[in-house]
Chains A and B, each alone.
Chain A
Amino acid sequence: MTAEAEKPNIITSSLDFIVNWGRTNSLWPFPYGTACCAIEFMSTEVGRYDLSRIGSEYVRFTPRQSDVLLVAGTITYKQAPILKRIYEQMAEPRWVIAMGACACSGGFYDCYCTVPGIDHIIPVDVYIGGCPSRPEAFFDAMFDLQKKIKDESYMKQRAERVKEQLEMIKAKTAEAKANAKEFAQEKVVEIKDFVKAKEQNLVKKAQFWKE
């Protein structure tokens, strides 16, 4: 008995903690690099700075497999629909980092073709300044994002989701019931009419034969 107790193989924890722990330490970025900030991101990713220390070494080039949309560079109006579509294609939970002055505010491009900050198109979680941002700043942003993720509650969100789904189901059921009732009423009226017509027919026939 004592020997078994010395080798525990069960831990108890809250689900929120476990989920957040998992999400925090495996943030897979989707690099949407359009300008020099993307070069800085490359340097963050490899060798000297090594983003894999915080579990983000997998850069996925498909929105379906990534958690963090990293917008590094100038976004023009011609590109804006593409960025929006990529954001929509990402699976939840998803976060967005705006890297560099151009992605945050349009930078020094004050012209007809540049979007003044990507927050006009998609929600942003963390902004990084700089032109371009240094890798240290990028790490800082990742830590900020990790803190933010740790504050999230999976269970609360789930409860809300379930509540929404329940309400939706209730509404649908009520609608279906109302429809069925209406349909039944219509049927009843139809049958009544049919019976009435039959009766009248019979009466007419009887009269005819009497005559």
Chain B
Amino acid sequence: MKTAEEIFTALEEMFGAKRETLDKWGVTAIVSAGYLRNVVQFLKDTADVELDMLVDIAGIDYLTYPNHEGPRFAVSYSFKSIANPGLRFRLKVLVSEDSLKVPTLCGLYANANWYEREVYDQFGIVFEGHPDLRRLLNHVEFVGHPLRKDYPAQKRQWLSTNDYLLPALEKRLEDLGYRVVQRSKEVGTNDNEFLEGSIKE
């Protein structure tokens, strides 16, 4: 098992990663967005490292952070190793406000799909190459990204409809080999009709 220090030296040599000084455990490396996929591939595949579990993806907004310099946003990836128990590592990608783009990790970790959707939902950071980048927690009609520091916390948004999940569900089932035999009269396949609101004349 390699220690975090050894991983750091390897990453510094290969990808020019930097240490994050804010992390008191000293296991965070800052990498550039261009190298992210390569770094993650390296961490996942190298023997004695094998970070085979993606624990979390978190967005960070540094707008009101004291004494902060540099890009406004960051995305933080937490990894854990099951092959080497006790080994944890974290990557951080800085994202400037002008180009909110980070490459996706969907091909490498299956659970990255929903984590990235969540970060996109709450911070508006776009993950390039993501197969299905929609809102995860907030409503389809929601405007804005609520976990940004400049989003007014007291702002209320009234929403007129509930999410219409049936077409997506049917599609998923049809992909698995099922087919729709019969559909209730109340259930239409038109999304827009459903989005008109709960009260129908």
A residues near B (Cβ < 8 Å) are 77-82, 84-85, 88, 110-113, 116
Contact = CB atoms under 8 A, between A and B. Distances in A.
Interface residues of B, number: 18
A85 B197 CA distance: 10
Contacts, number: 37
Contacts of B158: 77, 80
Report, nearest first, the 7 A-B pairs whose CB atoms are least far apart: A112-B146, A85-B198, A81-B162, A78-B139, A82-B162, A81-B161, A77-B159
Contacts of B153: 110-112
A110 B159 contact: no
Contacts of A116: 156
A207 to B, nearest CB: 60
A77 B159 CA distance: 7
Interface of B: 138-139, 146, 151, 153-163, 197-199
B164 to A, nearest CB: 11
Contact of A78 (B138, B155, B156): B138
B199 A88 contact: yes
B51 to A, nearest CB: 33
A84 B199 CA distance: 9
A110 to B, nearest CB: 7
Nearest to A115: B156
A81 B160 contact: yes
A84 B156 contact: no
B198 A84 contact: yes
Contacts of A80: 158-159
B160 to A, nearest CB: 6
Contact of B139 (A77, A84, A88, A111): A77
Nearest to B151: A112
Given A110-B153, A112-B153, A81 B146 contact: no
Nearest to B163: A78
Contacts of B159: 77-78, 80-81
Nearest to B154: A110
Contact of A113 (B146, B163, B198): B146
B162 A77 contact: no
Contacts of B198: 81, 84-85, 88
A80 B161 CA distance: 8
A88 B153 CA distance: 30
A111 to B, nearest CB: 6
Given A77-B156, A81-B162, A113-B138, 10 more contacts: A78-B138, A78-B159, A78-B163, A81-B161, A81-B198, A88-B199, A110-B153, A112-B151, A112-B156, A113-B146
A112 B155 CA distance: 6
Contacts of B161: 81
A111 B146 CA distance: 9
